[in-house]
Amino acid sequence: MSPRTKEQIASIRSESTNKILMAAMELFATYGFPGTSVNAIAKKAGISKGLIYNYFESKEDIVKGLVEMMLQMADDIIDDASALKAGTPEQELKNLIDVFFDTIEQQMEMMRWILPLAFHMSKFSFVNDMVKGKIETTIGVMHNIFERLGYDDPEMEAWFLGAIIDGLSMDVALLPDYEIDKMHKYLYLKYNLNENE
């Protein structure tokens, strides 16, 4: 048997880390941080407790990993919207809204775990610092779009849209039959965006 390549090792590490984070997300959301043991995470992930400590130093470090994973999702939304090569601020806004909605729909199960988890995680000061920086970056991107669209208060409009997206994520997590398409179309109307472009 030949030794594993660096790529194979990285892939195994990524797969194991993902298993740990997804198991921890579900357990933290269900039982809270204090009610979840590293043993329970290992059992849920189908790996040994010792392997968890190869990737994470503590339960708090797992929380940090979860926050980093969620913030990476936010980065991916901005990157995906930017990659669509919009020529106008209207198209950039439409792309951003479309990618937000696509992510919410594709990650619906994860959204159902993130909501209760968010309430538990806010007690960690490092989580608040990490999230604050990401929110400011995302608001900055939207502020730039609304400024180029000529809004009187582009910063407040960016915060408003951010609050709408956050609220939609919560609604989807809580209400299995939430008609997300109606809100998607409503935002097109609100911002005078052409649905077919």
> How far, CA to CA in Å, does 178 sit from each of 149, 167, 183?
30, 12, 10
At residue 117, the pLDDT reads 66
At residue 128, the pLDDT reads 72
At residue 9, the pLDDT reads 45
- Asked whether the domain spanning 60-197 has the same topology as the one spanning 1-56, the reply is no
Could you tell me if 71 and 134 are in contact, meaning their C-beta atoms sit under 8 angstroms apart?
yes
Q: Side chain identity at 106, as an amino acid letter?
A: Q
**Per-residue pLDDT tens digits of the chain, which is 197 residues long:** 445 555 544 454 567 888 898 888 888 878 878 888 999 999 999 988 888 898 899 888 888 888 888 777 777 777 766 655 667 889 889 988 988 888 887 777 766 666 666 666 667 777 777 777 778 888 888 999 999 999 999 999 999 999 998 888 878 777 778 888 899 999 999 999 987 76
Burial of 89 (0-12, 13-18, 19+ CB in 10 A): middle
CATH code of the domain occupying 60-197: 1.10.357.10
**Is domain 1-56 in CATH 1.10.10.60, yes or no?**
yes
| Domain map (residue ranges) of the chain | 1-56, 60-197
- Rounded Cα gap, residues 120 and 31, in angstroms: 10
- Rounded Cα gap, residues 49 and 39, in angstroms: 6
**Full-model pTM:** 0.71
At residue 3, the pLDDT reads 53
